[in-house]
Amino acid sequence: MYDIIEGDQLGIIGNYYNQELSRLIGAGSKMMKITSTQIGNFKLNDTFDEKEVEKEYDLRYDANYNEWWLYGQDTKTVFFKITAPNGIIKKIEVSEYIAETDKGIGIGTKYLTLTEICPSHEVFCAGSYEVSIKCKKYPNMFFIMPREKEVLCDEGQEKLKASLNVNQVITSVIIYDSN
């Protein structure tokens, strides 16, 4: 089982919708570290340099959300969403990626699950298939995971379960500047 290691360093692995694809993306690209202040080469309160980032990622600015979306140039998969008002990074989200930690590189055998982050509370969004988890140990982070679905036999419509499986895999991590 995967352990959260000292120094607020976390690793996420897998993809709820297609774990095998996610493993291939992670194994075939540069691994990254995730801490409470940094994801990969991006650090909270650092300058977001468009020209420098463009050397490694395809960029798209989404004015509706005021976010930069960074795509890996080989897979066209969204790796990051970065909010950088006035060019200063204030929020970083990484999804469906494999991380490098001091314990080694996970390529499909180690998973960060709900039980390992010791959640303090959950944030459900109506109609969403995801839930955001907070924990006291990492106050400026959200851990995103899918909500399970069940099918109602009489109506044939999907209904979201109220509870989460404690062994579900975390699919995204968001860090943000709490100031």
Whether 16 and 149 have beta carbons less than 8 Å apart is answered as no
Give a yes or no: residue 3 inside a domain.
Answer: no
Cβ-defined contacts of 146-154 (< 8 Å, 24+): 146/16, 146/171
Other residues' Cβ atoms within 10 Å of the Cβ of residue 57: 15
| CA 120 – CA 79 distance, rounded (Å) | 27
Give a yes or no: residue 8 inside a domain.
Answer: no
Give a yes or no: residue 9 inside a domain.
Answer: no
Give a yes or no: residue 1 inside a domain.
Answer: no
Give a yes or no: residue 30 inside a domain.
Answer: yes
Four-CA torsion 39, 132, 3, 102, nearest 10 degrees: 0
Measure the CA angle with vertex 38, ends 68 and 7; round to 5°: 160
State the residue for tokens 């419509």: 157
Q: Which pLDDT score, from 0 to 100, does residue 21 have?
A: 44
Q: Which pLDDT score, from 0 to 100, does residue 9 have?
A: 37
Other residues' Cβ atoms within 10 Å of the Cβ of residue 83: 18
What is the number of structural domains in the chain? Answer: 1
Whole-structure pTM value: 0.65
Instruction: Give pLDDT < 50 ranges for the chain.
Output: 1-31, 76, 97-111, 150-163
Give a yes or no: residue 99 inside a domain.
Answer: yes
Measured in whole angstroms, the distance separating CA 46 from the mean position of its chain's CA atoms is 19
pLDDT tens-digit profile of 18-36?
444 444 444 434 445 677 8
Other residues' Cβ atoms within 10 Å of the Cβ of residue 162: 8
Residue 149, domain extent: 19-176
pLDDT tens-digit profile of 26-70?
443 444 567 788 887 889 999 999 999 998 888 889 888 889 988
Whether 99 and 106 have beta carbons less than 8 Å apart is answered as yes
Give a yes or no: residue 150 inside a domain.
Answer: yes
- State in Å, rounded, how far the first CA of the chain is from the last one: 34
Give a yes or no: residue 91 inside a domain.
Answer: yes
The count of C-alpha atoms lying within 13 angstroms of the C-alpha of 35, restricted to the half-sphere facing its C-beta, is 13
